[in-house]
Structure 1
Amino acid sequence: MRSLKRTIKFSLSMLVVLVTVLAGAGCQRKNDSANSNQSSTSQSSSSSAIDQENQKSQSEESEQSSVSEVVYWNAEKAGKLADFMVGWGAQMNQTDYVQLGSGDSQQKGDIGQIDYINNNRVAVNEVPVTVEWSTDGNGQADYQIVDSYIYWAENAVNPIFYLFTLQNGKAVVLVSKQNQGNEANLLYTHPTENVDLQNGFASIVESE
């Protein structure tokens, strides 16, 4: 009888131990599963944030690329301007306009205007600005100069010097009639009041 009681007692003890072990294992599996889910969620959130940042960066690069790809000026448009100046000059009874570029200092009609430009010594409406020569109308200066023409009639006191520029992508024709230097060492210009010349240049810039 005592042996049977010991056997039953031992069996109950083993059953309690087994239940305890199984319960602990179940809790551990739940904890492991919860931790795994949390880790997976964290990794997913991190991956999503990285993807969003990459997409944002790619979008910004695409926008910057689109802006930098705008070409306002080229050799074909320069040819159109040359033809336009012949016709427009004839209408103005000014048939001897001479084209000047960055390397044309001291050419016919030039008394230093090109040097002023090359040395970045230009004022617009008496306010000093930054200028630069540009082959496509893009640049970092206030005004990008894509071409220039000068006319100096025989026996005339002042030349007529036109700068064909882009300001933030907008066509602007600047004019100067300066015939000598000054203490400020600046080439003074202002936007032309000749509507036909301004509109003609703008049309060429906007053309395909």
Structure 2
Amino acid sequence: MKKLTIISLVILSSLLILTGCGSNSSKKSNVTSKVKVVKQSSSKKSQKGVARKKSGSLWNNDKDSHLEDFMKQWGEVMNQTYTKYDGTNNIQTASGMNYPQDFNSATVNGQNVSMAWDKKGTGKNDYNVVAIYNYNKPSSSSITYAFTLADGEPIVLVNEGSGNNWSETKNKSLRENFVNIFDGKATHVEKPKASSSSSAKSSSSTKATDDHGEYFTTPETMRGTWYFKSEYGMIKLAIFENEIIHVDPNGLGRRMVLYKKISSIPDNVEQYELEQWYNASYVNVRGMQYIHVLGRNQTSGSGVYYAIHTEEINGNKVPIIIESSGEDVWTGVVYYPSEDLANQQGDTKYEDLHYR
């Protein structure tokens, strides 16, 4: 069992591979240029901000609750679980920052700014932060969003790096919905192409292409949720029409959106979204058809392989998913169609599979 677990962890690791404080005076002297750079403000936009200030329509508990509901839905779409700052205890990110405490040394686009927690959004900072949401990724890095009011305008800042530099999010959904929440309008969360629930087989179809490439389509027989009982708990493998999601025993997911060919990288795609894009193709190994998955920019390594196969278990023909890796495509993990079977079979090895 330990041998199988070690191989499993190696395979999951390969997926991860595939993939200054200024003085107060200096901050004040640069405020105008900084805000213009980040906000890309115009006279029309500035007037809009002044109008909002005069109307007193800034931040309140109703808007905060609306944003919390939106972030829960949006996190599900992105297969990410966000932690909200509770107004008292600092959020500690996997990247080593503590917010809102570390806002006092934050930069935006590399420039010194004044940025601070301000529940009502009425402060005199360049960026008054009214909400903070953080997602710690399995790879010991993090994505942190600061929902701010800057000169009366709603601006969403994101920090994905290991430092304390922020930039305006490129995610259109976050930008537009934060403005809607601020203005008291309805939000819209685009439903995901696939969900990690056990209802995967009923997932609706997706388009063959999008703005940046042609999707790879998995066989219908492979689609669904599959299970492997590791030493640390149950691991789930959810296969959809155009994507594969691993969920570890702690509920952390690794999403792989599959493309035949990625033709372009849009400007509004953030780094963590790019990390979910993979190249996929069919290969035949020892008479078995596999889906071969490689990182978007992978130039070395064997990637990971998935195939559907049938084994006789308790006198019944049972479909299984084989996950393999290495230069000789060795079987590492066998996934079963139910948790009961996964528990029952444990580390069973099958004579017709190729193990290291």
With structure 1 as the length reference, what TM-score do the two structures score?
A: 0.58
1:103 is paired with a residue whose SS is coil
Match of 2:147 in 1: 164
Match of 1:83 in 2: 69
2:114 aligned to which of 126, 130, 133: 130
Q: Shift of residue 100 of structure 1?
A: 1.6
**Is 1:197 aligned to 2:174, yes or no?**
yes
Q: What CA distance in whole angstroms lies between the structure 2 residues aligned with 1:81 and 1:67? A: 20
Q: Shift of residue 70 of structure 1?
A: 1.2
Match of 2:82 in 1: 97
2:69 is paired with a residue whose SS is helix
| 2:145 counterpart letter in structure 1 | Y
Q: Deviations over 1:28-48 (max 9, x none)?
A: xxxxxxxxxxxxxxxxxxxxx
Change in CA separation of 1:122 and 1:198 when aligned onto 2, cut-off 3 Å: same
Q: Deviations over 1:108-140 (max 9, x none)?
A: 7573231212xx111110001001222221111
2:161 aligned to which of 178, 183, 188: 178
Q: Which runs of 5 or more structure 1 residues have no equivalent in the other structure? A: 1-65, 182-186
**Is 1:113 aligned to 2:82, yes or no?**
no
Change in CA separation of 1:146 and 1:101 when aligned onto 2, cut-off 3 Å: same
**Is 1:148 aligned to 2:126, yes or no?**
no
Indicate conservation of the 8 Å contact 1:130/1:141, yes or no. yes
Q: What CA distance in whole angstroms lies between the structure 2 residues aligned with 1:106 and 1:79? A: 19
Q: Shift of residue 197 of structure 1?
A: 0.7
Q: What CA distance in whole angstroms lies between the structure 2 residues aligned with 1:108 and 1:121? A: 15
Q: What CA distance in whole angstroms lies between the structure 2 residues aligned with 1:167 and 1:88? A: 23
Give matches, 1:8-87, under 5 Å.
67=53, 70-87=56-73
Question: Structure 1 vs Structure 2: percent identity of aligned residues?
Answer: 31
Match of 2:251 in 1: none
| 1:116 counterpart letter in structure 2 | D
| 1:166 counterpart letter in structure 2 | L
Indicate conservation of the 8 Å contact 2:94/2:137, yes or no. no
Change in CA separation of 1:142 and 1:106 when aligned onto 2, cut-off 3 Å: closer
Q: Deviations over 1:81-120 (max 9, x none)?
A: 11000111111111x1000255322547573231212xx1
Change in CA separation of 1:71 and 1:132 when aligned onto 2, cut-off 3 Å: farther
Indicate conservation of the 8 Å contact 2:148/2:154, yes or no. yes
Q: What CA distance in whole angstroms lies between the structure 1 residues aligned with 2:143 and 2:112? A: 20
How many residues get paired? Answer: 134
Q: What CA distance in whole angstroms lies between the structure 2 residues aligned with 1:103 and 1:204? A: 23
RMSD: 2.3
| 1:129 counterpart letter in structure 2 | V
Q: Which runs of 5 or more structure 2 residues have no equivalent in the other structure? A: 1-51, 186-356
Higher helix share: 1
Indicate conservation of the 8 Å contact 1:175/1:190, yes or no. yes
Indicate conservation of the 8 Å contact 1:97/1:151, yes or no. yes
Match of 1:188 in 2: 165
1:161 is paired with a residue whose SS is strand
Change in CA separation of 1:79 and 1:152 when aligned onto 2, cut-off 3 Å: same
| 1:193 counterpart letter in structure 2 | K
Point out 4+ residue stretches in structure 1 off by more than 4 angstroms.
66-69, 106-110
